[in-house]
Amino acid sequence: MAKDIVILGIETSCDETAAGVVKNGKEVLSNVIYSQINVHKKYGGVVPEIASRKHIEAISFVVEEALNEAKLSLNEVDAVAATYGPGLVGPLLVGLSYGKALAYAKGKPFIGVNHIDGHIAANYIGGNLTPPFVCLVASGGHSHIVYVKDYGEYKVMGKTLDDAAGEAFDKVARALGLGYPGGPAIEKAAKLGNMEAIEFPKSFMEEGNFDFSFSGVKTAVLNYLNRQKQKGEEVNIYDVAASFQRNIVEVLVKKLVEAARFKNVSKVSIAGGVASNGFLRQKLEEDAKKFGLSVYYPEKIYCTDNGAMIAAAAYYDFVKGKFSGMDLNAIPYLKIGEK
Ligand code: KG4
Ligand code: ZN
């Protein structure tokens, strides 16, 4: 039997200082997340400079905890991996430098991981999903429809031309006074509202177009709120939240299902922070079933940023012998599929 491969993964691309230890790309031995959300909340979004400082404060402790929980010493891991892009450059540099230093000090291989690759690989954790499949990656910074041909081999079928889906959730939540991060707040508010109450516009709905544009619906919500205010009419924020969420989810699901049919694959998956949305999961299950597609999604804790997904993605590089040099730098605008 082949030897088990244990990888320590570090993630610091945005506002979570995270580290996880994963065996063979699937079995999570630990997943420690220090979220800075409370620090950034009062600013209504992530402040990059503050995020960098908080990562520096937390990184040693978070990595130590991840190893402790996994009951392993650094000597016992086979490789160290860290996100090197895309993301905020200061935050990225903290985790990347820390990961490289650990690997160098212990003479272990180092693997730089593309953050989006990590989100997709979260789908392999604890499950039995294997390529090929089509994956929707929807987070605060990204909305992509990706054809996953093989492990780490991607073709981007479509992407957002303006706001990411999570970004739209965050901006609309802020306008509704629901706070940051907006996704979970909108999902909660939507449960109390009528999702058919307001029809907001959808973009690029013609068949075969897998790109997204979410700035239109965001502006439509803001205009609606202003109009109601001008007319002196009350706004039912629950109806707005539910109608907005339905709009975004319908667009995401339609395009994902269509993309899978276009590629003639039988499996679809979702990844990224927005993939933890319960209504999205439910609607995808319903629509995918109509076309005989199997649906996969990570546990919620592996949808938002975490270290385990980085270790999971690194595993497939490890088995191919693809390691990174100590000169690897942070790349804030790293594209999916780029190494
Ligand atoms: O993947 P992630 O943790 O960080 C990025 O890589 O951006 O995603 C965070 C994004 C935020 O925009 C947040 O509002 C959104 O994911 N999000 C959600 C939900 N939970 C997080 N959006 C919709 N519904 C949710 N339940
Ligand atoms: Zn992310």
Residues 155 and 225 in one domain: yes
Residues 265 and 312 in one domain: no
Assign 250 a pLDDT band (cuts: 50, 70, 90).
very high
Residues 185 and 145 in one domain: yes
Q: Do the domain assignments include residue 213? A: yes
Query: Is residue 277 in contact with ligand 1, taking CB distance under 6 Å?
Result: yes
In this structure, what token pair is assigned to residue 206?
């013609």
Task: Tell me the pLDDT tens digit for each residue of 143-190.
Answer: 999 999 999 899 999 999 999 999 999 999 999 999 888 999 999 999
Nearest by Cα to 10 from 89, 106, 116, 84: 84
Residues 83 and 221 in one domain: no
Residues 238 and 313 in one domain: no
Residues 164 and 111 in one domain: no
Average pLDDT in the 76-88 region? 97
Nearest by Cα to 309 from 7, 1, 9, 6: 9
- How many folded domains does the chain comprise? 2
Residues 287 and 196 in one domain: yes
Residues 285 and 314 in one domain: no
Its pTM stands at 0.95
Ligand 1 centre distance from Cα of residue 276 (Å): 8
From 139, 163, 174, 300, mutation site for ligand 1 pocket: most ligand atoms within 8 A of C-beta: 139
pLDDT exceeds cutoff 70 at 245: yes
Assign 1 a pLDDT band (cuts: 50, 70, 90).
low
Residues 29 and 155 in one domain: no
Query: Is residue 91 in contact with ligand 1, taking CB distance under 6 Å?
Result: no
Identify the residue whose tokens are 């065996």. 23
Q: Do the domain assignments include residue 333? A: no
Q: What is the CATH number of the domain that holds 239?
A: 3.30.420.40
Query: Is residue 11 in contact with ligand 1, taking CB distance under 6 Å?
Result: no
Residues 156 and 263 in one domain: yes
Query: Is residue 182 in contact with ligand 1, taking CB distance under 6 Å?
Result: yes
Ligand 2 centre distance from Cα of residue 232 (Å): 39
How far, in Å, CA of 119 to CA of 310, rounded?
Answer: 8
How far, in Å, CA of 333 to CA of 114, rounded?
Answer: 10
pLDDT of residue 336: 85
Task: Tell me the pLDDT tens digit for each residue of 262-320.
Answer: 999 999 999 999 999 999 999 999 999 999 999 999 999 999 999 999 999 999 999 99
Residues 147 and 80 in one domain: no
Residue nearest (by alpha carbon) to ligand 1 atom 21: 273
Question: Is 119 annotated as contributing to ligand binding?
Answer: yes
Task: Tell me the pLDDT tens digit for each residue of 225-241.
Answer: 999 999 999 999 999 99
- Residue 56 lies in domain: 6-121+302-319
Q: Do the domain assignments include residue 166? A: yes
Residues 6 or more apart from 278 whose CB is under 8 A from it? Answer: 187
Task: Tell me the pLDDT tens digit for each residue of 100-158.
Answer: 999 999 999 999 999 999 999 999 999 899 999 999 999 998 899 999 999 989 999 99
Q: Do the domain assignments include residue 339? A: no
Residues 287 and 202 in one domain: yes
For the CA of 173, the closest atom of ligand 1 is 14
Residue nearest (by alpha carbon) to ligand 1 atom 3: 304
- Please tell me whether residue 23 adopts helix, strand or coil conformation: strand
For the chain, give me the number of helices (H) and strands (E)? 10, 10
